[in-house]
Amino acid sequence: MEEHASKNALPVFDTLKKVFGFQSFRPNQVEIIRSILGGKDVFAVMPTGGGKSLCYQLPAKLLDGTAVVISPLISLMKDQVDAAVENGISAAFINSSLATQETAAVFRRLRDNSIELLYIAPERFAMTNFLETLKGVRISLFAVDEAHCISEWGHDFRPDYLSLSNIVKTFPKAPIAAFTATATPKVQDDIIVRLGLRQPFTVRASFDRQNLFYRVEGKRDLTAQIMNVLGKHAGEPGIIYRTTRDSVDSLSGFLSGQGIKALPYHAGLEQEERKANQEAFSKDEVHVIVATIAFGMGIDKSNVRFVIHADLPKNIEGYYQETGRAGRDGEPSDCVLFFGREDIPRIRYFIDQITNDAEREIALKKLNQVVRYASHNVCRRKQVLEYFGEDYAADNCNACDICTGKVEKVDITIDAQIFMSALSRTGQRFGIMHIIDIVTGADTKRIRELQHDTIKTYGAGKDKDKNHWRFIADELLAQEVIYQDGGTYPVLKLAEAGKSILFGKEKISALKREETKKKSRAGKWSGPEDYDQALFEKLRVLRKRLADEQRVPPYIIFSDKTLHEMCGRYPSSLHDLALISGVGDAKLERYGDEFITEIKAYLKENPGITVPANPFSCVPSGHAGGKPKGETFEKTYELFKQGLSVGEVAKSRNLAEATITAHIEQLIMEGRDIDIDRLIDPGKRDEIGKLFLTLRSWQLYPVIEHFKGAVSYEEAKIVRAYMRCKTG
C-alpha cells in the first residue's frame, strides 16, 4: 500500500518505540495505521483501553499536515494534548475553555502548519468560519472519536455530530478514521452510512477486557458493602456511580467523614467545581470520585483500579462504557455492581415518561437486559460479549464472580411453591418485600390489617432468613417464573411457567454460589507479587512531583503499568530504562535520569534485594517459571504438541493467529518443549538471531525494518523468545 505524503522517514515500528515507547502493537493497531497511511478510510470498534488514540496519533506524526481529531470530550482534550506533547507530538485543542488570545494563538499555529494533532468538538466543525480556516490548512486525516454519537441507535446520540457527514464532501482527499468502544452491528452500519465512509477498512475487535474482574452483589447494607470494596483498594483510584445528585452528595460526604479522599461530580455542581473535582482526581489528589453518569465520558485516567455501580445502570452499553473507565493501562481492576430490585421501579418510572412507543419499548428491552445480567448465574463476561454479538467460547473466564465461585445446583421447588402460593393467595397485588414478610411470618401492622397472617403459607418459611427468600424471589424473576407489573410500585404476578411449578407439574432448580478468592488473569505484570511495592510507592511520589511541575496528571508522565515494570526489572541505566514499555525518546530524555537515580538510591538503601542477573531476558521478575498462567496457554500447547500448525490451532480454538503466536512465545520463554523448526526455517531463524546479537537489543522494530518485509512480526517475536532463553 503506497503511503500518503510523509514528512518523515521514520518507519512505523521505529516511531512506535521512539515516540510512544512501545515494543509492539496491540491487536489491530498496525493494520489500522497502515490503512490510514495508505489514504484509506477506517471504521474501528475497539474496547476502552484498546489503544485507539495511538491509531491516529502515530499517523499524525508520520503524515504531512494536521490530523484533526473530533471528540465530544471537551473536559479531556487538555489531558489528551498534554499526553501527546509529552511524547514529542506537536498538539493543540480548540474549545470553549480557551481564552480569546489562546484560541487566536492556536489558529496562528494552525495556519503555519506547525500543529500535527488538533482536537476539536463537533460543534466547532459545524462553524462556517472554522471550516473556511480548515480549507486553507494541509489536512493529513480526520479522526472521529466516540463515533457512536452520530447514530440515533447508539446509546449517546448527539445531533451536533450530524454535521460530520460534510467531511467527505469538503475534504475528499483526507482519509477518515472513525472509532468507538461501543457499537452493535446495527449502530456500526449506521455510522458508516452517516459519515459517508468510502469502502472503509473495518475492524471489529473483541470487546473482552481481560484485565477487568466483573462482580455483582445483592444490595443489602450498601454503605458497608462500598466500604468493604474501598478497604480492598485502599489508596487506589476509583469511581463510584450513583443515579441521583442527592445520593452522590450524601455518599461523597460520608466517605470524606470516614477519612477517605472523595469528591462529588454531577451536573448540579457549578462548572468550576466540577472541573476542579475532576482535576483533583486526575492528579491523584483524591482517590475516589462519586459521580452520576455525567462523569462517564469525562475521564481519561489510566490507573483507575475499581469502578463501583451502587445503583442499577439503565442499559448494558452504558454499563460497559462506565466499567471501561477501569484498567485503561491494562492492569487488573475490579468492576462491582450492587444490585437491588428496588432500583428497577425508579428506572421504569422514567421509561414510562417516554411518549414515543418505539423508544419506550427499546428502553424497556435494554433495562430487562441489564437486569438479566445482574440476576442470572451465568458468566458475566459471556453475557456482556453476547450483547455486542460476540461469542465467548471459553467455559470459564476466571475473571468474574460466577466463574471463580463455588457453584452448586440446588432444587428450590418447595421454596418456590411456598413463595408463589403466598403471592397467589394474596391476589397477586403485592411486591417482593411484602410476600417475603408473609412467608417469614413477620408481625407487621400491614399484615395484620390485611389479615395475611391467616393464610396457609404465613410463616411457612420462617426457618430461613430474608436473604434466602430474596434469593428465591430473584431466581424466580430471573427465570421468568414470576414477573413484576406496574411502574413505581410494581406487584408480583404469576407467569404460565410459574403455575406449572406451583401446582407440582414441574420442578425448578437454581445455582447457588459461594464466592472464593479472586483469580488473576494471565498477564506479565498481573498482581502485587510481580513488582516491588515499596519501590513503586517511591516512584509514585517522584512521578507526582514531576507531574505537578509540568501541571499534568501523573499518569501522563508514566502509567502505573510502566512503573510496575520498572519495579520488577530495576533498570539501572538509560539503555535499560528505554526497554521498559511506555518509555519513548522524549520521556527518556526528560525524566530518565531522575527515575534511574531514584531506583539506584532505593537499591543502595536495600542491599538485600536481588536484582535479576538479566532482567530483560526470559522469565520476568516475580514469575514462578515452568508453567504459563492461564488454562488457555495449556490448550494451545496441547494442540501444538499434537502436530497442528499455528493456523490450525487458531482455527480449532476460534482465536486469531496472532493470539496463538503470543501463546507460543510465552511458552518458549517459560522453557516449554517447542519445536521452533516447525515455526520458522532454521536458516531464516539464524539470520534473525544474528541480527538480534549484532544490535545487542531485543527490540523488534529494527529487525522488522532491516528485513524490509521478508520477516513477519510474529516470526521476529518467536525468534526473540528462543534467543532470550538460549542466551540466558
**Concatenated DSSP letters for 9-39?**
---HHHHIIIII--SSPPTTHHHHHHHHHTT
As given in the structure block, the three cell numbers for residue 284 are: 491523584
How far apart are the C-alpha atoms of 562 and 426, rounded to whole Å? Answer: 62
C-beta of residue 288 within 8 angstroms of C-beta of residue 315: no
How far apart are the C-alpha atoms of 447 and 368, rounded to whole Å? Answer: 31
Tell me whether residue 617 is in a domain: no
Are 104 and 119 within one domain? yes
Best mean pLDDT range from 37-46, 67-76, 339-348, 467-476: 37-46
Calculate what percentage of the chain has a pLDDT beyond 70.
89
Are 232 and 335 within one domain? yes
Tell me whether residue 610 is in a domain: no
Are 300 and 283 within one domain? yes
- Sheet harboring 238-241: ordered strands across? 212-218, 333-339, 306-309, 238-241, 288-291, 262-265
Mark which of 145, 175, 204 sits at the end of a domain: 204
Can you give the pLDDT at residue 615? 57
pLDDT, the chain, mean = 84
**Strand 66-70 with 139-144, pairing:** parallel
Give me the amino acid identity at 621: S
Tell me whether residue 616 is in a domain: no
Can you give the pLDDT at residue 470? 85
Can you give the pLDDT at residue 241? 95
Residue 540 in this model has a pLDDT that exceeds 50: yes
pLDDT per residue as tens digits for the range 247-279: 999 999 999 999 899 999 988 888 889 888 988
More confidently predicted of 507 and 702: 507
Are 374 and 450 within one domain? no
Question: What CATH number has the domain bearing residue 132?
Answer: 3.40.50.300
pLDDT per residue as tens digits for the range 368-388: 889 889 887 788 999 999 888
Mark which of 403, 431, 456 sits at the end of a domain: 403
Residue 528 in this model has a pLDDT that exceeds 80: no
Residue 652 in this model has a pLDDT that exceeds 90: no
Can you give the pLDDT at residue 295? 53
Are 269 and 394 within one domain? yes
Calculate what percentage of the chain has a pLDDT beyond 90.
36
The one-character DSSP state at 373 is: H
| C-beta pairs of 655-659 under 8 Å, 24+ apart in sequence | 656/27, 657/714, 658/27, 658/714, 659/27
Give me the amino acid identity at 186: K
pLDDT per residue as tens digits for the range 187-215: 889 899 999 999 999 998 888 888 999 99
Place of cell 540466558: 728
- pLDDT band, very low/low/confident/very high, at 227 (cuts 50, 70, 90): very high
Which whole-number Å values give the CA distances from 602 to 213, 561, 570, 579, in the listed order?
A: 33, 19, 10, 20
pLDDT per residue as tens digits for the range 74-89: 777 888 898 899 999 9
In b/e form, how buried is each residue of 477-499, taking b as 16+ CB within 10 angstroms?
bbbebbebeeeeebbbebbeebe
As given in the structure block, the three cell numbers for residue 634 are: 495449556
Can you give the pLDDT at residue 624? 36
Residue 525 in this model has a pLDDT that exceeds 60: no
Name which of 706, 712, 709, 708 is nearest 691 in CA terms: 706
Residue 10 in this model has a pLDDT that exceeds 70: no
Residue 620 in this model has a pLDDT that exceeds 50: no
The half-sphere exposure of 488 on its side-chain side, counting CA atoms within 13 A, is: 1
How far apart are the C-alpha atoms of 540 and 553, rounded to whole Å? Answer: 12
Residue 28 in this model has a pLDDT that exceeds 80: yes
Can you give the pLDDT at residue 522? 35
Are 283 and 411 within one domain? no
Are 419 and 391 within one domain? no
Residue 335 in this model has a pLDDT that exceeds 90: yes
How far apart are the C-alpha atoms of 139 and 6, rounded to whole Å? Answer: 12
Beta bridge pairs of residue 68: 118, 142
Mean pLDDT of 291-314: 81
Mean pLDDT of 412-422: 95
Structural domain boundaries, residue 445: 407-514
Mean pLDDT of 41-68: 91
Are 192 and 118 within one domain? yes
Can you give the pLDDT at residue 629? 42
More confidently predicted of 726 and 590: 590
Strands, E, within 66-200: which ranges?
66-70, 91-94, 117-120, 139-144, 176-180
Name which of 408, 163, 276 is nearest 289 in CA terms: 276
Are 142 and 110 within one domain? yes
Are 303 and 245 within one domain? yes
How far apart are the C-alpha atoms of 44 and 15, rounded to whole Å? Answer: 22
Name which of 121-125, 339-343, 494-498, 630-634 the model is least confident about. 630-634
Tell me whether residue 619 is in a domain: no
Can you give the pLDDT at residue 229? 93
Residue 631 in this model has a pLDDT that exceeds 70: no
Torsion angle defined by CA atoms of residues 620, 623, 626 and 630, in that order, rounded to the nearest 10 degrees: -100
DSSP string, 205-236: -----TTEEEEEEE-SSHHHHHHHHHHHTTT-
Can you give the pLDDT at residue 694? 78
Are 193 and 251 within one domain? no
Which whole-number Å values give the CA distances from 333 to 327, 475, 479, in the listed order?
A: 5, 28, 30
Strands, E, within 258-413: which ranges?
262-265, 288-291, 306-309, 333-339, 406-411
Can you give the pLDDT at residue 5? 53
- pLDDT band, very low/low/confident/very high, at 349 (cuts 50, 70, 90): confident
Beta bridge pairs of residue 687: none
Place of cell 521512539: 18
Mark which of 464, 480, 514 sits at the end of a domain: 514
How far apart are the C-alpha atoms of 264 and 285, rounded to whole Å? Answer: 14
| Count of domains for the chain | 5
Q: How many Cβ atoms sit within 10 Å of the Cβ of residue 453?
A: 16
Residue 296 in this model has a pLDDT that exceeds 60: no
How far apart are the C-alpha atoms of 656 and 647, rounded to whole Å? Answer: 8
390: Cβ–Cβ under 8 A, 6 or more apart, which residues? Answer: 206, 207, 208
**CA 192-193-196 angle, 5° bins:** 85
- pLDDT band, very low/low/confident/very high, at 9 (cuts 50, 70, 90): very low
How far apart are the C-alpha atoms of 217 and 474, rounded to whole Å? Answer: 12
Can you give the pLDDT at residue 516? 44
Best mean pLDDT range from 448-457, 477-486, 692-701: 448-457
Can you give the pLDDT at residue 700? 67
DSSP string, 452-480: GGGSTTTTTTTTS-HHHHHHHHHHHHHTT
C-beta of residue 307 within 8 angstroms of C-beta of residue 243: no
Kindly state the helix (H) or strand (E) to which residue 106 belongs, with its residue range. Answer: helix 100-111
Are 148 and 193 within one domain? yes
Residue 238 in this model has a pLDDT that exceeds 90: yes
Name which of 281, 321, 320, 274 is nearest 303 in CA terms: 281
More confidently predicted of 631 and 520: 631
